[in-house]
Amino acid sequence: MIVKYIGAALFFSFASLLSFTQTQHVFTHADTIRGSVTAERAWWNVTHYNLQVQFDYVSRSLAGNNTISFNIISSSKKNMQVDLQPGLDIDSVMNTGNKLKFYREGSAYYIQWPHRQNEKKGVVTIYYHGLPRVAKRPPWDGGVTWTTDKQGNPWITVTCQGLGASVWYPCKDYQGDEPDSASISITVPDTLVAVSNGRLRNQQPASPGYSTYTWAVVNPINNYNIIPYIGKYSHWQETFAGEKGNLDCDYWALTEYLAQAKEQFTQVKTMLTCFEHWFGPYPFYQDGYKLVQAPHLGMEHQSAVAYGNGFRNGYRGTDLSESGWGLRWDFDFIVARLDFAYTLRTPYLPEGERWADGIDFWDPVLSIAIGYPF
C-alpha cells in the first residue's frame, strides 16, 4: 500500500512540475496599472478613508460611499486613479459640492481632478454600488463570503489580501500607500452586529429595522486589512497588562459558539505575553486587540483578527510539527519534496506532555510539498 502511495505521489509531483514549466503568465496593461505607481497615483497620498457601506444578503449586493482625504504631493496635472473591480460601479464623484467627471478602464477609474493653484489637500466622496466578487476559497481566493450560521442568520465578511480591497470598496488599491487612519460605518439589520477594525465609536438606528455601527482606527492601516464582519455576534472584553500598559482585548463570537470561544480564547494573554517578549510591544495599543469569529480559516486583519480554526489548537486541530524521512528534488526554479513523517512533539500541550510516548511506524503521515527554492 505504501508503495502505491509513493508511486502516486511521484506521478502527481512530476506532473505538477511539468505543468509549472509549461505555464507562463502573460502580463497585461491591466496588471501594469494595478501594480504600478502610475502618474495618476503618484501626485497624491492617501491620509484617511471614511467608508460607509451596506450589504444586502438576499441580493448579494452592496452600496455605499468612500470619502478619501489626501495630500497633494506634486504639481502634476494628471487625472486621479481610483480602483474598483468589475461587478461594482461608481455612480458619482463629489468634491466640495461639485460633481467630477470620470471614465473607466477595467478596474481603474480616472477622475478629472480640478488641480487648483497652491492646493495642498483634497477630498473626494465616491458613491458606488453593485455585485462584488464572491469568495471562492477564502482566505486564499478571496472576495465577499455570504453564508449563514447554524440558525440561518446571515454571516458576511471579506478576504482580499491578494485580490485587493477594490473588490469591495473604491480606494487607491496599492499597498505602498496606506491611509493614516480610517473610519468604517456598516449598516445592518438590527438583529445582527457589524464589527470592524479599531474601536467602536458609535451605534445608532438607521432606517427602520436597521442599525449603523461606526468603527475607527487611528493607526496607518493597509487597504486589505479594513474588513467588515456581519453576524449574530456576542461580545466580551478583558484587559491585558502589556509592555506599553493596559491593552483592551475584545472578542466577538457567534452567539451559538460563545462557550467554546470563551474557553479557547483564554490562551490570548499567554500568546500576547510570548509575542511581546520576543518581538516587542503589540503595535496597535490605541486601536485595541480584537479576535472575531469568521467563516474562513483566519486572517491577520489589523486590530480585528479573523479567527476560524474551530476553537482547536493546531491547524484545524492537527499538529503539523513532525519528523521523518523523504526525498527532495531541487531545480533552479522549483523544489519538490516527498516525506514520510511522524509526530514527535505537540508544542501547545502542557510541559511534560509535549513529546510523544511512542511512535506507530505503521501509521506515517505522507507529505507532498512543491515550492520555490530559497
Say what the pLDDT of residue 5 is: 44
CB 229 within 8 A of CB 252: yes
Residue 358 — pLDDT band, cuts 50, 70, 90? low
The correct CATH number of 36-235+282-307 out of 2.60.40.1730, 3.40.50.720, 2.60.40.1260, 3.90.1010.10 is: 2.60.40.1730
- Give the pLDDT confidence of 235-271 residue by residue, as tens digits: 999 999 999 999 999 999 999 999 999 999 999 999 9
Say what the pLDDT of residue 338 is: 72
pTM, entire model: 0.81
Indicate whether 3 pLDDT > 70. Answer: no
- Give the pLDDT confidence of 73-99 residue by residue, as tens digits: 998 889 999 999 999 999 999 999 999
Q: How far apart are CA 340 and CA 364, in angstroms?
A: 6
Ranges of each domain in the chain: 2-25+316-371, 36-235+282-307
Q: How far apart are CA 76 and CA 266, in angstroms?
A: 53
- Give the pLDDT confidence of 310-330 residue by residue, as tens digits: 999 887 877 655 555 566 665
Positive/negative CA dihedral, 350, 356, 362, 366: positive
| Residue 301 grid cell | 486583519
